[in-house]
Amino acid sequence: MSGDAVKAIIFDWGGVLMRTQDRSGRDEWDRKLGLPQGGVERVVHGSEAWNEVQRGERSDTSYWQVVAEQLGVPPGDIPQLRRDFYRGDRLDPDLIDLIHNLKARGHKVGLMSNNSLALLDLIEEHGLTDPLDGVVISAQIGVMKPAPGAYQAILDKLGVSAPDAVFIDDFPRNVEGARAVGMQAIHFQPGINLPATLRSLLDA
């Protein structure tokens, strides 16, 4: 596939554009609740309720109520738990610059994430509504990566076909899911030089 054929670049959110740089907030709650390190995170992102909210089957409020119940946290402490849990997450400024550069070169830029509807507010809060040409969140469509329907949804949103798109994700299964529907894909890993890796595809 030549670089001219690449019309759209699609990013994942968590683990790519937004990454956890400081885990102290999560560690503090582990100690407070007498859990081993990573205990709170296993409930927040490892429960069936997390899958349900990502599929749009449960509201964000209901999801956090379930998390609080499983952790034994009083309902009144949920806002603080949420703030502390995500306070170490940072948007990658280099990747935001990359998005703007890609758009300047005439490419469409999209976002596809397995996430709750709360991500829509976060995207707006970080000023990414305008830079992104299309956003698909699993909770909107009831389908999660790596199901083929998730990839088709963002392709339809951007108005491109699978061979014309490159998808970037930190989970191998989601990368393989993209390739299975005919997209090119990049496995985002610590230390990767994403601009250079992407350039090798665009300039092939």
Closest CA to 27 of 89, 73, 90, 85: 85
pTM score, whole prediction: 0.94
- Sheet containing 108-113: give its strands across: 134-137, 108-113, 8-11, 165-169, 184-187
* pLDDT on residue 202: 87
Note the CATH number of domain 3-20+90-202: 3.40.50.1000
Q: Are 72 and 33 in contact (CB under 8 A)?
A: yes
Please give the CATH topology (third level) of the domain spanning 24-86.
Answer: DNA polymerase; domain 1 (1.10.150)
Mean pLDDT by runs of 10 across the 204 residues of the chain is: 74 98 98 98 96 98 98 98 97 96 96 97 95 97 98 98 98 98 96 93 80
Whether the CA torsion 67, 72, 75, 78 is positive or negative: it is negative
Question: Domain boundaries in the chain?
Answer: 3-20+90-202, 24-86
pLDDT computed for residue 84 by the predictor: 98
The one-letter code for the residue type at 153 is A
Residue 203 has a pLDDT of 80
Q: Please check whether the two domains, 3-20+90-202 and 24-86, share a CATH topology.
A: no
